[in-house]
Amino acid sequence: MSIYKEILDGLDEKGALHFTLIDPDDIGYENAAKFSAESERAGTDAILIGGTVGVQGELLDETVKMIKESVSIPVILFPGDISGISPFADAILYLSLLNSRNPYYISGVQALSAPIILRWKLEAIPTAYLITEPGGETAAGWVGDARPLPVRKPSITYAYALSAVTIGYKFVYLEAGSGAAYPVDDRLVMAAQKAIQHRIPLIVGGGIRTPQTAVQKVRAGADIIVTGTVLENSEDVFSSVSAFASAIHGAGKERR
Ligand code: 1GP
């Protein structure tokens, strides 16, 4: 079964999912496997590996292998650039930053990485990646040269999300940026879901620091919530992931 199908089945079953983002740069690659295992035990639905990748090449491969050995949930690459890929993951979010000013992040990096992804037989999940306000001030927005989607004009987010479904992307990912001062605004989540109409999953992440905020985003229309920074900063990864996962699954159940 493909990882994408596994995620769709998970959504059918639970209504909403929680993904744990691991940046091996931030938590130390030697801690990544333990962090992932704790997260799985606490109920998270998948591990995303990404970040601004100081960890790449052999070190990234070893990190991914260690994570794979310690969990049975999907391990999915969420690369910041071409260097963030490894043959040992289950799948890769094949990101196109549609609202970038730089074509490299829309289609260039995809072209450069396509041959190796094919050679590795890595499952690539085409993902429309959209950076919203306040993402311009985060690494993803700055590096990706994004024109962040404005909160005051949800119709622009609506149009981008609609184009993503029309083109045939398999995920829409609304991103405020890792460590953002505040998360994606509910109005933008609603606008995106209004366009998507549950035809593909809507991922929302960046700046989500409490389970209550995660629930709010699910109620606004998010299918999958990604948290990274708040878990990295937590003293007790298990309790923290557990609070997010159960709140998100609870909110998912409400709307099934
Ligand atoms: C970033 O959406 C993710 O790409 C998660 O963001 O680190 O702010 O949780 P945080």
CA–centroid distance, 229 to ligand 1, in Å, is: 6
State the residue range of the domain holding 177.
3-255
Question: How high is the pLDDT of residue 71?
Answer: 98
Atom of ligand 1 nearest to the CA of 140: 4
Confidence (pLDDT) at 91: 98
Atom of ligand 1 lying closest to residue 208 CA: 9
pLDDT at 84 over 90: no
Q: What is the model's pLDDT at position 256?
A: 74
Amino acid making up residue 138: T
pLDDT tens-digit readout, 116-158: 999 999 999 999 999 999 999 899 999 999 999 999 999 999 9
So what's the pLDDT on residue 83?
Answer: 84
- Tally the domains of the chain: 1
The answer to which of 51-60, 73-82, 141-150 has the lowest mean pLDDT is 51-60
Q: Is the pLDDT of residue 23 over 80?
A: yes
How many C-beta atoms surround the C-beta of residue 31 within 10 A? Answer: 16
Atom of ligand 1 nearest to the CA of 204: 2
Q: At what angle do helices 186-196 and 211-220 cross, to 10 degrees?
A: 40
206 CA distance to ligand 1 middle (Å): 4
Mean pLDDT of 188-214: 98
Contact between 21 and 35 (Cβ < 8 Å): no
Higher pLDDT, 59 or 128: 128
- The verdict on the CB of residue 206 being under 6 Å from ligand 1 is yes
* Sign (positive or negative) of CA dihedral 118, 52, 48, 212: negative
pLDDT at 24 over 90: no
Can you tell me which atom of ligand 1 is nearest the CA of 173? 2
- The pLDDT, as a whole number, for residue 16 is 98
Q: How many CB atoms lie within 10 A of CB 96?
A: 20
- For 225, phi then psi, to 5°, come to -110, 130
Q: Which of 175, 189, 224, 248 for a ligand 1 pocket mutation test, highest count of atoms within 8 Å of Cβ? A: 175
Cβ–Cβ < 8 Å for 176, 183: yes
Residue whose CA is closest, atom 1 of ligand 1?
178
Q: What's the 3-state SS for the chain?
A: CCHHHHHHHHHHHHCCEEEEEECHHHHCHHHHHHHHHHHHHCCCCEEEEECCCCCCHHHHHHHHHHHHHHCCCCEEEECCCHHHCCCCCCEEEEEEECCECCHHHHHHHHHHHHHHHHHHCCEEEEEEEEEECCHHHCHHHHHCCECCECCCCHHHHHHHHHHHHHHCCCEEEEECCCCCCCCCCHHHHHHHHHHHCCCCCEEEECCCCCHHHHHHHHHHCCCEEEECHHHHCCCCHHHHHHHHHHHHHHHHHHCC
Ligand 1 center–CA 205 separation, angstroms = 5
* CATH code for the domain of 114: 3.20.20.390
Assess whether the C-beta atom of 84 lies below 6 angstroms from ligand 1. Answer: no
The closest-lying atom of ligand 1 relative to the alpha carbon of residue 179 is 8
pTM of the model: 0.97
- So what's the pLDDT on residue 82? 85
Nearest-angstrom CA–CA distance, 15 and 23: 26
> Based on C-alpha coordinates, what's the Rg of the chain?
16
Higher per-residue confidence, 44 vs 23: 44
Q: Are 162 and 156 in contact, with CB atoms under 8 Å apart?
A: no
Map tokens 């890595």 to a residue: 122
